[in-house]
Amino acid sequence: MEIGPDPAEVGRARRWARSRLACPGIAVDESLADTLVLLISELVTNAVVHTGCPAVLSLLFGPGGAGAGIVRVEVADSSARPPQQRRADGADTHGRGLELVDGLADRWGWQPEGQGKRIWCEVDRTAPAIAPAVVREPRTYEAPRAVTNTA
């Protein structure tokens, strides 16, 4: 899905994702659908807000389709600026996007691509769910080399 450099595109990306999840067997009321839509929302928001460039959103299903295996979300944009995970203070209204991605996805990372970059995250449907009480410290990243994170 092509994303314009407009914050209204985030809502359109969420609707697009929900429509695509239903086809391969992820129920709208399934917690995985909510998690994937939140991940998509965060990655698209980051692309729109921090780059001001158009982007391309992809939703990929591993072997066996969405019913088994890995679901991967990718957002590619034309900005060479690497993503930066921030640590938001309690009253901050911004700066939690990649912290959420880090907490919800099984893996995430980014790599340079052409003049821009591709940021991605994966959710493994076969992995046991993380208990909500688990809190992870945010990781720090060095730019501009590509980074891959594993939970």
Q: Where are the domains of the chain?
A: 2-150
Give the fold, CATH level 3, of 2-150.
Heat Shock Protein 90 (3.30.565)
pLDDT digits (tens, 9 = 90+) for 121-147: 999 877 655 444 333 444 433 433 445
Helix, strand, coil share (%) of the chain residues, nearest 5: 30, 25, 45
Measure the CA–CA gap between 58 and 73, rounded to whole angstroms.
6
Q: What is the pTM of this model?
A: 0.75
Q: Which two tokens stand for residue 19?
A: 């429509």
Distance separating alpha carbons of residues 112 and 121, to the nearest angstrom: 15
Token pair 């939703």: residue: 59
Would the pLDDT of 118 be above 60? yes
pLDDT of residue 68: 61
pLDDT digits (tens, 9 = 90+) for 42-100: 999 999 988 888 999 999 987 655 556 789 999 999 998 888 766 656 665 555 678 88
